[in-house]
């Protein structure tokens, strides 16, 4: 049975070009890039090239790129640094929609006595800009707002929000893990101070990430030890994965326009097909400002986990907008913040596509989903 993978916001396949570029650094080119000898120097050159490729994708300078292990480390580091360099400030601004890599960090600092403001959203998941403007104070150490939401695909007005923070001298961080490679990001044109990304969301391996730190922004290292990354992140560089991420960034930059149009067309084909074929379903999010690869669709009076189990039997991989913990179902914090009705929220499925999906795969999903939903609705205890 063929696997149809529509869960790319969870992770992506490693591009063949990325895998090929990594192989020499898993074999004969095993030197330490910090070594003084030529054998290590050629490895250091590869790391420098990858740094340049990632900077080019982001509209940044190579020296503003810090390699980390993942997006979560980058998020933690950004918030830690802002708080440590401004001990007199005790306020954090974030949103109700963030990934746990930011939400749980904010909760941790809240337990340490910091005040945290979480900006709410409307029923389409759009951030309350008036509430945001009113939240910024002289005591605010950092704003952390995701560039694009991992569940709905909503793209937030990061440029505008960063500029508002800059006007008040507040550090602005964005978790751009879902956005990099999917939307145009030019850090030379927006006032973002720090940005997080993760390699496995753009066809590089798991276990490599980046924290962008704008030149001139005060920074305190989260991981201490050696002199790597200009003293900003200790630990011997993960060279094969860094090289892979550099190639993935290069591929993303070269194929940006084509991928947006092609993947966007497939997403729209899937969404229209499902909405036309299945009654009582709805799209969650702002359809005018979404990632081109993401559709979050709720099916009334069905449990998302049951949908996923039946899709899995068909070889279809997607993810649910609700989480099952300790035997009790609870809709995702994103859908709750948006006020999605209970009998829709539990039946929320996120389809997230990539350049490796095809029209034939999309048509297969559209042809089988109506029977899946009909079967489950006949069994469902939910009514009305």
| 66, β-bridge pairs | 211
Q: Could you tell me which of 333, 284, 73 has the C-alpha nearest to residue 199? A: 73
> How many of the other CB atoms lie within 10 Å of CB of 323?
13
Coil/strand/helix, residue 92: strand
Q: Are residues 344 and 300 in contact, defined by beta-carbon separation less than 8 angstroms?
A: yes
Which helix (H) or strand (E) segment holds residue 104: the answer is helix 100-111
Task: Give me the half-sphere count of Cα atoms (radius 13 Å) on the Cβ side of residue 23.
Answer: 8
Please state whether beta strands 209-213 and 65-68 pair in parallel, antiparallel, or not at all (unpaired): antiparallel
3-class secondary structure per residue, 52-85: HHHHHHHCCCHHHEEEECCHHHHHHHHHHHHHHH
270 close to 261: Cβ distance less than 8 angstroms: no
The helix (run of H) or strand (run of E) holding residue 264 is helix 256-277
Active site residues: 324
């Amino acid at each position: 049975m063929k696997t149809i993978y529509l869960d790319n916001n969870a992770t992506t396949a490693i591009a063949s070009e990325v895998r090929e570029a990594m192989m020499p650094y898993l074999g004969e080119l095993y030197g330490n890039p910090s070594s003084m000898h030529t054998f290590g120097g050629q490895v250091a050159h590869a790391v420098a090239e990858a740094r340049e490729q990632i900077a080019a994708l982001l509209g940044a300078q190579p020296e503003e790129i810090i390699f980390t292990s993942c997006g979560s480390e980058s998020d933690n580091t950004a918030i830690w640094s802002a708080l440590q360099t401004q001990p007199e400030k005790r306020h954090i601004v974030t949103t109700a929609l963030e990934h746990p890599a930011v939400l749980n960090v904010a909760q941790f600092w809240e337990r340490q006595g910091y005040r945290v403001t979480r900006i709410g959203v409307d029923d389409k998941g759009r951030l309350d800009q008036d509430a945001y403007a009113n939240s910024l104070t002289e005591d605010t150490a950092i704003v952390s707002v995701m560039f694009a939401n991992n569940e709905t695909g909503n793209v937030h007005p990061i440029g505008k929000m960063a500029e508002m923070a800059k006007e008040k001298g507040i550090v602005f961080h964005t978790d751009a893990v879902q956005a990099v490679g999917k939307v145009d990001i030019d850090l030379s044109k927006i006032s973002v101070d720090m940005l997080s990304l993760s390699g496995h969301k753009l066809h590089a391996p798991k276990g490599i990430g980046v924290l962008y730190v704008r030149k001139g922004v005060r920074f305190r290292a989260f991981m201490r030890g050696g002199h790597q990354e200009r003293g900003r992140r200790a630990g011997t560089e993960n060279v094969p994965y860094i090289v892979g991420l550099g190639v993935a960034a290069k591929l993303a930059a070269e194929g940006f326009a084509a991928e947006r149009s092609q993947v966007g067309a497939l997403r729209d084909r899937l969404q229209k097909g499902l909405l036309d074929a299945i009654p009582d379903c709805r799209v969650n999010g702002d359809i005018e400002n979404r990632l081109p690869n993401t559709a979050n669709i709720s099916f009334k009076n069905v449990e998302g986990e049951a949908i996923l189990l039946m899709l899995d039997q068909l070889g279809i991989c997607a993810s649910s907008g609700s989480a099952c913990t300790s035997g009790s179902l609870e809709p995702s914090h994103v859908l709750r913040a948006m006020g999605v009705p209970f009998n829709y929220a539990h039946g929320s499925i996120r389809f997230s596509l990539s350049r490796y999906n095809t029209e034939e795969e999309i048509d297969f999903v559209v042809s089988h989903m109506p029977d899946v939903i009909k079967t489950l609705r006949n069994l469902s205890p939910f009514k009305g």
